Structure 1
């Protein structure tokens, strides 16, 4: 069986381009900041990057009610909203590396862009 002829220089250039794209994405992801406020305005959550909680603000008025379960749910909901906002930003950053028909709800924004690019490399197609 004859082995395929691989242009090593072209392959290296292609991988270097992909590496540069990934480094650019990593830098842009580091700049993501998303802040969400609870409906009553008493809770504010800020996430960065891939949704890591950076800051949580609790207005002192939250202590007027002794319902810790409701408070916990409101905090989780507010953080979740901020994470969703950061996912939207991440999707926008990585959009160029996804199939044209990709939609945020069905996309793992952390890995799908890179898997798509690797699939294109395997198939020998470079955008």
Structure 2
């Protein structure tokens, strides 16, 4: 949707129609997209293949698998770092997949700002769409 020229009544009507159509489209399609995102799970493996982490759409850890071969090298710091890195990689992949799921209806930069909890970016994006002086 393109911002409209506030001095152009036809442009304002077209913009309002576009917003209305987008709203109805979202109303119809969002439930199915939400369900896809809600049930999303992503599994990533560590580079050595000994750690496998599965996360949900919000990056919450759902499952952690540790190959028993990790005990051949008793380095708890390395193990902890590998687990953390693998979980973060899975969470980042899940986040990107959520953005992709909603891409047909919500621009990626808007969705990323919402997922990041970046209120300033969300408000800035909304303000950029408003008519008049900013």
Instruction: Report the aligned-residue RMSD.
Output: 3.5
- After superposition, the Cα gap between the structure-2 partners of 1:57 and 1:109, relative to the gap in structure 1 and judged at 3 Å, is farther
Give 5+ residue unaligned stretches, structure 1: 1-9
How many residues align? The count is 107
CA distance in 1, matches of 2:56, 2:74: 30
CA-CA distance at 1:108 after TM superposition:
2.7
Aligned to 1:98: 107
Q: Which among 9, 31, 37 is matched to residue 45 of structure 2?
A: 37
Alignment of 1:23-62 (within 5 A): 23-62=31-70
The runs of 5 or more residues in structure 2 that have no matched partner are: 1-16
Task: Assess if the C-alpha contact under 8 Å between 1:90 and 1:109 holds in 2.
Answer: no
Matching residue of 2:113: 108
Query: What is the TM-score when the length of structure 2 is the normalising length?
Result: 0.62
Shift of the 64–103 alpha-carbon distance from structure 1 to 2, 3 Å rule, reads farther
CA distance in 1, matches of 2:35, 2:76: 38
Q: Which stretch of the first structure deviates more once superposed, 35-44 or 17-26? A: 17-26
Conservation of the 8 A alpha-carbon contact between 1:32 and 1:49: yes
TM-score (normalizing by structure 1): 0.65
Distance 1:98 1:51, change over 3 A: same
SS in structure 1 of the partner of residue 55 of structure 2: strand
